[in-house]
Amino acid sequence: MPDATTEAPLLGHEVLAAVLQVRAGSLQVLLWQRAREPHMHRWSLPGGRLRLDEDVEHSIRRQLKEKVDVRQLAHVEQLAVFSAPDRVPGPRMVASAFLGLVPSDNDPELPEDTRWHPVGDLPETAFDHQAIVRRARDRLRSKLSYTNIGFALAPPTFTVSALRELYSAALGYRVSATNLQRVLSRRGLLEPTGDTTRPGRSGGRPAALFRFADRGMQVTDPFAVLRPPAAKSR
pLDDT tens-digit readout, 209-225: 999 999 999 998 766 66
Can you tell me the distance from the alpha carbon of 159 to that of 200, in angstroms, rounded to the nearest whole number?
14
Q: Which is more confidently placed, 46 or 206?
A: 46
> Which residues belong to CATH 3.90.79.10 in the chain?
12-139
- Residue 202 pLDDT: 65
- Residue 5 pLDDT: 45
Please report the DSSP string for 148-203 in residue order.
-GGGGTS-SSB-HHHHHHHHHHHHTS---HHHHHHHHHHTT-EEEEEEEPPPBTTB
Can you tell me the distance from the alpha carbon of 117 to that of 129, in angstroms, rounded to the nearest whole number?
13
* Residue 148 CB contacts under 8 Å (≥ 6 apart), including other chains: 187, 189, 212, 214, 217, 218, 220
- Residue 118 pLDDT: 98
Q: Can you tell me the mean pLDDT for 26-36?
A: 95
- Residue 203 pLDDT: 60
Kindly report, residue by residue over 96-128, the tens digit of the pLDDT: 999 999 999 999 888 899 999 999 999 999 999
Q: Which is more confidently placed, 143 or 71?
A: 143
* Residue 228 CB contacts under 8 Å (≥ 6 apart), including other chains: 171, 172, 173
> Which residues belong to CATH 1.10.10.10 in the chain?
146-212
Which CATH number among 3.30.930.10, 3.90.79.10, 3.40.50.150, 3.40.50.300 corresponds to the domain 12-139?
A: 3.90.79.10
pLDDT reading at 31 higher than 70 = yes
Of 167-171, 188-192, 226-230, the least confident: 226-230
Report residue 230's pLDDT band, with 50, 70 and 90 as the boundaries.
low
pLDDT reading at 1 higher than 70 = no
- Residue 234 pLDDT: 43
Architecture in CATH for domain 146-212: Orthogonal Bundle (1.10)
pLDDT reading at 162 higher than 70 = yes
- Residue 233 pLDDT: 43
Q: Which is more confidently placed, 89 or 229?
A: 89
pLDDT reading at 4 higher than 90 = no
- Residue 8 pLDDT: 47
pLDDT reading at 34 higher than 60 = yes
